[in-house]
């Protein structure tokens, strides 16, 4: 009886056992989180599309100078960057979902309140302070936090995709908002922005998970399960501690300086002043805004491609190439502005779109290389320099237009700054690889 049982057991062991479907063929949850983050950033980006097309309407209605309006935009841009490292630390303390949901509500409040303003200080308070704080909480440090938590492979690609969402979302909304401004008024456009921010909140609250451990999965590409870390108290203290440590290193200053020029030549210059500059040359506001939307479309391809390149090539050299080509293109822009859209202008727009924030994936890769687990917060501070640069040019560009009567000097100065950024990228040292110790 025992021999019969043993034989049956051996035979059953020799038989091929039914296999469960390979769970690894399913789409990893990390890609769904990335998709939700992408949609969140795209939908929330409407609130950052408006300042560039409000300069002329606010100037005409209230008589405010372009420098005054540019000051409100500069406060917005500066807070967008300065809030980012603290927001990254807050996400470690309270979770991604809570921080982003509250940020969207603050943005909706600030944008909605602008419809009742009648003084310049109210513009600075609503659009500069409130929208700046809310948008800073969903800056690229948000994308960096999601990427660091959910991915160990394909980080460059995912960074490129989420960066493209941030930049392109700001620009794709421009044709719609400019049509609303020209057809109705600037106030319905501000209400549209507030509603767009509110519409994103349910998606964030229901679908955006904080960590792979929340759903019992490993990060994409990880070999081992990663437990969810305990909440980190003292978000402000941690952000400042990381900053004080990073400023003692040379790469931080080179990254921050080059990224400040990146912000000056994109958000501060083109996004804020391209529409009024084109309008100065007789181009309709809707046509100029549509050109910025085209930048947003090509930025998707350029930034995703940059993420792919960053996974395969030296990020320092990529940054140098990006900044150098951007500087050359800005030197030609004064000759391209005209009452109508023509092929050379289209070429500039396509090229600038491809290069718009292609700098982000290699910059974030260098932050990871030099600062490891603190890279998201360090990148938040580097992003702060990006926005400070943008804020300065948003303000100084308006002052230059008031003083010189054109933007020509601004384009040329920005082109020279991009050349300096290319040199800064090349001198960032490579971090030595750890040496294996033989026991």
pLDDT at residue 418, rounded to an integer:
93
CA-only gyration radius of the chain, Å = 24
- 0.75 exceeded by the pTM? no
pLDDT of 201 > 70? The answer is: yes
Under a CB-based contact definition with an 8 Å cutoff, are residues 79 and 103 in contact? no
pLDDT at residue 9, rounded to an integer:
46
Burial class (CB in 10 A: 0-12, 13-18, 19+), 406: middle
Provide the pLDDT confidence category of residue 370 given band limits of 50, 70 and 90: confident
Give the distance from CA 328 to its chain's centroid.
23
Q: What is the mean pLDDT of the chain?
A: 79
Range scoring the smallest mean pLDDT among 40-54, 179-193, 219-233: 40-54
pLDDT at residue 394, rounded to an integer:
83
Q: In angstroms, rounded to a whole number, what is the distance separating the alpha carbons of residues 238 and 419? A: 34
Under a CB-based contact definition with an 8 Å cutoff, are residues 249 and 370 in contact? yes
pLDDT at residue 18, rounded to an integer:
41
SS3 state of residue 220: strand
Point out which residues pair with 151 in neighbouring strands.
220
pLDDT of 432 > 80? The answer is: no
pLDDT at residue 52, rounded to an integer:
64
Under a CB-based contact definition with an 8 Å cutoff, are residues 394 and 272 in contact? yes
Q: In angstroms, rounded to a whole number, what is the distance separating the alpha carbons of residues 276 and 215? A: 48
Residue with tokens 């008589």: 63
Q: In angstroms, rounded to a whole number, what is the distance separating the alpha carbons of residues 361 and 158? A: 9
Provide the pLDDT confidence category of residue 155 given band limits of 50, 70 and 90: confident
Q: What is the mean pLDDT of residues 247-275?
A: 89
SS3 state of residue 340: coil
pLDDT at residue 97, rounded to an integer:
83
**Domains with residue ranges and CATH for the chain:** 28-219+233-426 (1.20.1250.20)
Range scoring the smallest mean pLDDT among 25-34, 192-201, 423-432: 25-34
Other C-beta atoms lying within 10 Å of the C-beta of residue 398: 26
For 383-415, how does the pLDDT look when each residue is reduced to its tens digit (9 = 90+)? Answer: 888 878 888 888 888 888 888 888 888 899 999
Quote the DSSP letter at residue 430. Answer: P
Residues 6+ apart with CB under 8 A from 210: 91, 95, 96, 97, 149, 228
For 236-260, how does the pLDDT look when each residue is reduced to its tens digit (9 = 90+)? Answer: 787 788 889 999 888 999 999 999 9
pLDDT at residue 26, rounded to an integer:
72
pLDDT at residue 12, rounded to an integer:
45
């Amino acid at each position: 009886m025992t021999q019969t049982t043993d034989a049956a057991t051996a035979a059953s062991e020799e038989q091929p056992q039914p296999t469960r479907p390979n769970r690894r063929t399913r789409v990893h949850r990390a890609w769904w989180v990335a998709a939700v983050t992408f949609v969140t950033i795209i939908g929330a980006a409407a609130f950052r599309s408006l300042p560039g097309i409000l300069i002329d309407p606010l100037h005409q209605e209230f008589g405010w100078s372009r420098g005054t309006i540019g000051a409100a935009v500069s406060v917005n841009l500066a807070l967008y960057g300065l809030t980012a490292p603290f927001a990254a630390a807050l996400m470690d303390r309270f979770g991604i979902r809570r921080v982003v949901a509250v940020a969207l509500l603050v943005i909706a409040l600030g944008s909605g309140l602008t419809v009742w303003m009648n003084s310049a200080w109210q513009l600075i308070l609503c659009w500069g302070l409130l929208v700046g704080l809310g948008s800073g909480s969903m800056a690229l440090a948000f994308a960096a936090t999601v990427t660091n938590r959910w991915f160990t492979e394909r980080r460059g690609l995912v960074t490129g995709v989420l960066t493209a969402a941030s930049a392109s979302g700001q620009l794709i909304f421009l044709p719609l908002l400019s049509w609303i401004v020209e057809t109705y008024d600037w106030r319905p456009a501000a209400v549209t922005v507030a509603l767009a921010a509110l519409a994103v909140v349910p998606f964030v609250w229901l679908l955006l998970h904080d960590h792979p451990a929340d759903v019992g999965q490993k990060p994409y590409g990880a070999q081992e399960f990663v437990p969810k870390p305990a909440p980190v108290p003292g978000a402000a203290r941690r952000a400042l501690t990381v900053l004080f440590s990073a400023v003692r290193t040379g790469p931080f200053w080179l990254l921050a300086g080059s990224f400040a020029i990146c912000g000056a030549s994109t958000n501060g210059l083109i996004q804020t002043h391209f529409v009024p500059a084109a309008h100065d040359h007789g181009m309709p506001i809707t046509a100029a805004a549509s050109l910025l939307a085209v930048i947003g479309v090509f930025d998707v391809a350029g930034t995703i491609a940059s993420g792919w390149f960053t996974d395969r090539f030296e990020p320092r050299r990529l940054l140098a190439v990006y900044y150098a080509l951007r500087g050359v293109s800005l030197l030609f822009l004064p000759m391209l502005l005209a009452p109508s859209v023509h092929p050379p202008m289209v070429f500039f727009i396509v090229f600038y779109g491809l290069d718009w924030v292609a700098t982000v994936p290699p910059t974030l890769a260098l932050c990871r290389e030099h600062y490891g687990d603190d890279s998201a917060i360090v990148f938040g501070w580097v992003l702060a320099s990006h926005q400070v640069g943008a804020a300065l040019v948003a303000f100084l560009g308006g002052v230059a237009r008031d003083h010189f009567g054109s933007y020509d000097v601004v384009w040329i100065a920005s082109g020279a700054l991009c050349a300096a950024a290319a040199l800064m990228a090349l001198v960032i040292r490579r971090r030595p690889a750890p040496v294996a110790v033989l026991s």
